[in-house]
Structure 1
Amino acid sequence: METSQEKLNLFHGDSDEEFEDISQIEDRLYLSDGKTAHCKPTLLKYGITHIVNVTQNLQSKFKDNFVYAEFPVDDFANEDLGQYFDEAIQFIENALSENEKNVVLVHCFQGVSRSASIVCAYLIKKHNFC
């Protein structure tokens, strides 16, 4: 079984090997895990321009190539992710409205909980579900 540090080490090397675990949510909005967010060939393939990093321990690797928003959230049930919703939604809205070629990726470590919650909050606001 891998330790947390061993899992983190998977993301710190520079690799040109393409890794692709990415889901298109809407036109120009994608969701992924941290490994995909650290794979520059995949980011370029999908035309990603803006990245929402919803992790405490994964660095935003390509700051010279992409625009980042960082929300340092651990993957614990008692974390208050809601405190970041407004800022994350604003970042996504601004990116998508400022240029029709901008493409946003939202990621966390596994691409399952924190990042999906940010995407859901954005969709709820966009489609006026509340």
Structure 2
Amino acid sequence: MATSQENKHRYLSVKDLENVLDTCKLELTQIDEVWPNLYIGNVAVAQNRTALQKLGITHILNAAHSKQGSIGDQSFYGSKVVYCGIPADDSTHFDLNIYFKPAADFIHKALKQADGKILVHCIMGMSRSSTLVLAYLMLYHQLSPCCAIKKLIQKRAIYPNRNFLALLLDLDFQLRRKKRKTCLIL
């Protein structure tokens, strides 16, 4: 039986993740490459087709689709960019985890393409978009939430809300449980 001290080290809290986020010393910018060919940005850069073309962006994942101030759909970007919109709210009650797998799949598919480059954005590029990128790193690169956050804050100032951090911890728990079941079967 694990002691409470062992459990404390095995499972992180939202506050633990916030403490890691607080170590970021970067200033928030319009867009940053946070993983090879994977960018997080704000709505201003997402609506600047010239800048996106210069960067070679081939895919857009809008985590604030249909929200005020966030115009954008497939017709806005034309045939050279593949668009995916997620109508997420940056709130303490929005269930973003229903989009973790579809968003991660979209990011992965974009990055597998030759010359594929993807911008994941919301309004500020801090909470919704970064949460979806963190989920991608957890699902496709087997990073823990803490490791994923540490990777991203080396490249961009991010700050997912407390609800989204809790959802990432839930995802981590599910992934660990699934991995344990797989190990038991083998």
Common fold by TM > 0.5: yes
Counterparts of 1:105 and 1:92, CA distance in 2? 9
Residues 89-125 of structure 1 deviation map (CA, whole Å, 9 limit, x = unaligned): 011111111x220101100011000000001111112
The question of 1:59 aligning with 2:71 is answered yes
Question: How do residues 11-26 of structure 1 correspond to structure 2 at under 5 angstroms?
Answer: 21-26=30-35
Q: Which runs of 4+ in 1 moved over 6 A?
A: none
The offset of 1:54, in angstroms, is 0.5
Cα root mean square deviation, aligned: 1.4
Matches within 5 A, 1:3-82: 21-55=30-64, 56-57=66-67, 58-60=70-72, 61-82=76-97
Residue 87 of structure 1 aligns with which residue?
Answer: 102
| Structure 2: runs of 5 or more not aligned | 1-28, 144-174, 176-186
Q: How many residues align?
A: 110
More strand by share: 1
CA contact (8 A) 2:104 2:140 kept: no
* Aligned-pair CA distance for 1:126: 2.3
**2:11 alignment partner in structure 1:** none
Partners in 2 of 1:62 and 1:47 — Cα distance? 13
Q: Displacement, 1:68?
A: 0.7
- Deviation of 1:64 after TM superposition, in Å, equals 3.3
**Greater helix proportion:** 2
Unaligned runs of 5+ residues in structure 1 are: 1-19
Q: Do structure 1's residue 123 and structure 2's residue 132 form an aligned pair?
A: no
Q: Identity rate of aligned residues, in percent? A: 35
Question: Are 1:103 and 2:85 matched, yes or no?
Answer: no
